[in-house]
């Protein structure tokens, strides 16, 4: 991995999030209101939430999904030799998965592309744009997106494409490559914003970032040359939109001229617009780049202190300044308390990493390769649950849990448990129901699949903690020794709530033993993990797991007796 390149990618990804988080609290405030609240210099430090966190908005959320989609796309190319679709097509599917995090309507029985979908912090609604939501819902429904929006929701999320394209160790940063990825950035923005001024500025941003990445220091006249080259390339890509490109040039020229005179930042930005539309967002970012080419903080602070879309102008400016100056140029107080910093930096590092797996190499011979495969290959099926009212218990151990997999009708029972789309990956079935409680299904399991009964009365608890310890120890052992993801384990009772939740909570607790935690600490953490996992089950909307106090008391007793 090229260290200088990695520093620039980290700088751009974290820098964009910094600008987003700094501008998010003032997005809907006037400049006068900002000055009244924060002082004459405006907002210069984060406004932290009650937990001491600087919240990111939908801008950074969607940027992260762009990164995940890009990495999934090119990992597929590395391992299969073909893309199968354009990067923008993969990114479209990533955005639809982001939409699911915003609506809460996630179908866990369907394959998905993005491992970050499971990061709960990305499920927070942070003023998502109406255009993005409605357009993505149309795409999810298989309908054509029809709008004439040139909002900034397209430009603020495409930086990862440019960052990936600029890798000097795996790609020649040729003009054609810059053009190719600019096209993909434009297509990614055009998924939701159909006006040419909604997606051409996104292509401009992708070109600019790729041009700035090689510089360790840049003069203003060199920046102007980069901007001129952006316009030249846009004219090649979009010859039918010459009028719109001329308008973008007018705005960027104006931004450049304003950066040379004595006009205050607030006045200059007001002359460029408010950033609600993409070309204004771009112009404001260009102004801040030209005014403060060697100072990340001054550029980003200027970009958010105005009466417009402060988080988006901050995000795009942060993307640009970080790509130019690098991660080390970002003050530590902006890195501290930044929401999901670990995730932003992990995806940035992955973007900067030469894809370590391939079609003709061993993809599992190092921990790094195995982790990459889990995130960008196996995720396609790895987290997929077998039936609707079920959930993933432990990803690495391939353990799932849920309701009874059969049916009261004998023929339907056979058809259900032999459904290859649901159960082909599952080898071990742990049945917590009592003999005669439900129609048996073990006789219909295909060769090589195993059924184990561990009877617990409905709404009840096991006879003692020792036998549960032996049970969960066996389940964990099978999970650790399973092959790839074809030896999955399924734990169930009738409804998958009470008895199942009790055993799953005990399993989580058992995995925490010998970690120096108290009984109360283990119980709290085990129940937290259960609640998070069970939240993916549709039944969680109206049920709790375990379902009664007796079962929760048993979990405590299990911890006291078996987890020390």
pLDDT one-digit tens code per residue, 33-85:
999 999 999 999 999 999 999 999 999 999 999 999 999 999 999 999 888 89
Examine the domain organization and report whether 346 and 394 are in the same domain. no
Q: Is the pLDDT of residue 195 over 90?
A: yes
Asked if residue 372 is part of any domain, the answer here is no
For residue 54, the cross-strand partners are: 338
pLDDT tens, position by position, 285-310: 999 999 999 999 999 999 999 999 99
Task: Please tell me the distance from the alpha carbon of residue 322 to that of residue 274, in angstroms, as a whole number.
Answer: 22
pLDDT tens, position by position, 328-378: 999 999 999 999 999 999 999 999 999 999 998 888 899 999 999 989 998
Task: Please tell me the distance from the alpha carbon of residue 187 to that of residue 54, in angstroms, as a whole number.
Answer: 31
Task: Please tell me the distance from the alpha carbon of residue 550 to that of residue 552, in angstroms, as a whole number.
Answer: 6
Task: Please tell me the distance from the alpha carbon of residue 110 to that of residue 114, in angstroms, as a whole number.
Answer: 12
How much is the pLDDT for 484? 60
Examine the domain organization and report whether 437 and 308 are in the same domain. no
Task: Please tell me the distance from the alpha carbon of residue 56 to that of residue 123, in angstroms, as a whole number.
Answer: 12
Q: Where in the sequence is the domain holding 335, given as residue range(s)?
A: 3-352
Examine the domain organization and report whether 296 and 438 are in the same domain. no
Structure tokens at 430: 């742990």
Examine the domain organization and report whether 335 and 430 are in the same domain. no
Domain boundary among 300, 334, 352: 352
Count of beta carbons in the 10 Å neighbourhood of residue 216: 9
Examine the domain organization and report whether 339 and 401 are in the same domain. no
Task: Please tell me the distance from the alpha carbon of residue 242 to that of residue 398, in angstroms, as a whole number.
Answer: 54
Examine the domain organization and report whether 121 and 14 are in the same domain. yes
Examine the domain organization and report whether 408 and 293 are in the same domain. no
User: Which is nearest to 74 in space by CA: 212, 184, 192?
Assistant: 184
Asked if residue 228 is part of any domain, the answer here is yes
Examine the domain organization and report whether 332 and 419 are in the same domain. no
DSSP 544: -
Give the containing element (helix H, strand E) for 52.
none
Examine the domain organization and report whether 347 and 390 are in the same domain. no
Report CA 544 to chain centroid distance, whole Å.
27
What rounded mean pLDDT belongs to the chain?
Answer: 96
User: Which is nearest to 224 in space by CA: 316, 298, 155, 293?
Assistant: 293
Q: Which residue has the tokens 């609600």?
A: 276
Domain boundary among 352, 373, 396: 352
Examine the domain organization and report whether 424 and 334 are in the same domain. no
Task: Please tell me the distance from the alpha carbon of residue 401 to that of residue 499, in angstroms, as a whole number.
Answer: 11
Residue 173's pLDDT band (cuts 50, 70, 90): low
- Cis? peptide before 546, omega within 30° of 0: yes
For 392-421, the three-class secondary structure string (H helix, E strand, C coil) is EEECCCCEEEECCCCCCCHHHHHHHHCCHH
Number of domains making up the chain: 2
How much is the pLDDT for 212? 97
pLDDT tens, position by position, 454-499: 999 999 999 999 999 999 999 999 999 976 667 899 999 999 999 9
DSSP string over 447-458: TT-EEEE----T
Report the greatest alpha carbon distance in the chain: 85
The helix/strand count (H/E) of the chain reads as 24, 5
Across 152-294, the runs of DSSP E, i.e. the strands, are none
Residue 280's pLDDT band (cuts 50, 70, 90): very high
Sheet holding 450-453, edge to edge: 390-394, 399-402, 488-492, 426-431, 450-453
DSSP 129: -
Asked if residue 162 is part of any domain, the answer here is yes
Asked if residue 377 is part of any domain, the answer here is no
pLDDT tens, position by position, 400-447: 999 999 999 999 999 999 998 899 999 999 999 999 999 999 999 999
End-to-end CA distance of the chain, in Å?
Answer: 43
Task: Supply the CATH number for residue 132's domain.
Answer: 1.10.4080.10
Q: Report, as an integer, the average pLDDT of 112-141.
A: 95
How much is the pLDDT for 21? 99
Examine the domain organization and report whether 325 and 418 are in the same domain. no
Asked if residue 367 is part of any domain, the answer here is no
Task: Supply the CATH number for residue 557's domain.
Answer: 3.90.190.10
Asked if residue 359 is part of any domain, the answer here is no
> How many CA within 13 A on the CB side of residue 86?
14
How much is the pLDDT for 243? 98
Asked if residue 371 is part of any domain, the answer here is no
Residue 171's pLDDT band (cuts 50, 70, 90): low
Domain boundary among 333, 352, 371: 352
Length of the chain: 564
Task: Please tell me the distance from the alpha carbon of residue 86 to that of residue 70, in angstroms, as a whole number.
Answer: 10
Examine the domain organization and report whether 464 and 550 are in the same domain. yes
How much is the pLDDT for 172? 64
Please classify residue 2 by burial: count the beta carbons closer than 10 Å to its beta carbon, then call 0-12 exposed, 13-18 middle and 19+ buried: middle
Report CA 519 to chain centroid distance, whole Å.
34
Percentage with pLDDT > 90 across the chain: 90
Q: Is the pLDDT of residue 282 over 70?
A: yes
Count of beta carbons in the 10 Å neighbourhood of residue 437: 15
Q: Is the pLDDT of residue 260 over 70?
A: yes
Asked if residue 223 is part of any domain, the answer here is yes
């Amino acid at each position: 991995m090229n260290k200088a390149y990695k520093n620039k990618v980290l700088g751009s990804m974290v820098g964009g999030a910094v600008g987003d988080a700094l501008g998010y609290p003032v997005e809907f405030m006037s400049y006068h209101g900002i000055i009244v609240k924060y002082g004459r210099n405006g907002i210069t430090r984060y406004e932290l939430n009650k937990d001491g966190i600087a919240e990111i908005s939908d801008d950074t959320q969607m940027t992260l999904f762009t990164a995940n989609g890009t990495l999934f796309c090119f990992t597929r190319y590395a391992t299969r030799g073909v893309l199968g679709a354009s990067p923008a097509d993969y990114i479209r599917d990533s955005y639809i998965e982001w939409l699911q995090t915003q609506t809460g309507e996630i179908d866990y029985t369907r394959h998905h592309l993005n491992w970050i979908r499971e990061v709960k912090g990305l499920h927070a609604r942070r003023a998502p744009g109406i255009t993005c939501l409605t357009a993505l819902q149309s795409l999810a429904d298989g309908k054509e997106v029809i709008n004439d929006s040139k909002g900034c929701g397209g430009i603020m999320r495409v930086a990862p494409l440019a960052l990936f394209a600029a890798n000097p160790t795996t790609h020649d940063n040729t003009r054609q490559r810059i053009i190719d990825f600019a096209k993909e950035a434009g297509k990614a923005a055009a998924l939701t914003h159909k006006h040419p001024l909604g997606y051409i500025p996104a292509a401009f941003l992708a070109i600019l970032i790729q041009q700035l990445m090689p510089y360790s220091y840049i003069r203003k006249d060199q920046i102007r040359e980069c901007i001129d080259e952006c316009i030249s390339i846009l004219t090649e890509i979009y010859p039918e939109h010459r009028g719109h490109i001329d308008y973008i040039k007018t705005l960027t020229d104006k931004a450049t001229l304003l950066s040379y005179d004595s006009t205050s930042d607030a006045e200059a930005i007001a002359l460029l617009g408010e950033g609600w539309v993409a070309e204004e967002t771009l112009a404001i970012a260009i102004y801040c780049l030209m005014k403060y080419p060697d100072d990340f903080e001054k550029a980003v602070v200027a970009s958010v202190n105005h009466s417009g879309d402060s988080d988006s102008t901050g995000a795009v400016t942060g993307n640009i300044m970080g790509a130019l100056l690098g991660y080390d140029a970002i003050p530590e107080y902006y890195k501290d308390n930044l929401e999901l910093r670990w995730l932003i930096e992990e995806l940035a590092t992955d973007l900067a990493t030469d894809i370590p797996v391939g079609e003709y190499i061993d993809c599992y011979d190092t921990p790094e390769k195995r982790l990459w495969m889990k995130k960008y290959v196996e995720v396609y099926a790895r987290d997929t649950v077998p039936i609707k009212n079920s959930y993933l218990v432990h990803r690495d151990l391939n353990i799932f849990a849920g309701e009874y997999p059969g049916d009261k009708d004998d023929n339907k029972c056979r058809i259900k448990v032999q459904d290859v789309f649901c159960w082909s990956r599952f080898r071990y079935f742990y049945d917590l129901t009592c003999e005669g409680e439900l129609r048996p299904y073990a006789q219909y399991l295909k060769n090589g699949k195993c059924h184990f009964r561990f009877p617990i009365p409905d709404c009840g608890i096991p006879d003692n903690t020792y036998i549960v310890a032996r049970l969960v120890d066996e389940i964990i052992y099978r999970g650790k020794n399973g092959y790839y993801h074809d030896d999955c384990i399924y734990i169930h009772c009738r409804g998958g709530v009470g008895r199942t939740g009790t055993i799953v909570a005990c399993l989580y607790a058992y995995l925490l033993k010998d970690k120096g935690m108290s009984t109360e600490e283990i119980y709290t953490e085990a129940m937290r993990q259960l609640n998070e996992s069970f939240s993916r089950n549709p039944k969680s909307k109206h049920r709790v797991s375990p379902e009664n106090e007796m079962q929760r008391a048993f979990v405590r007793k299990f911890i006291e007796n078996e987890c020390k």
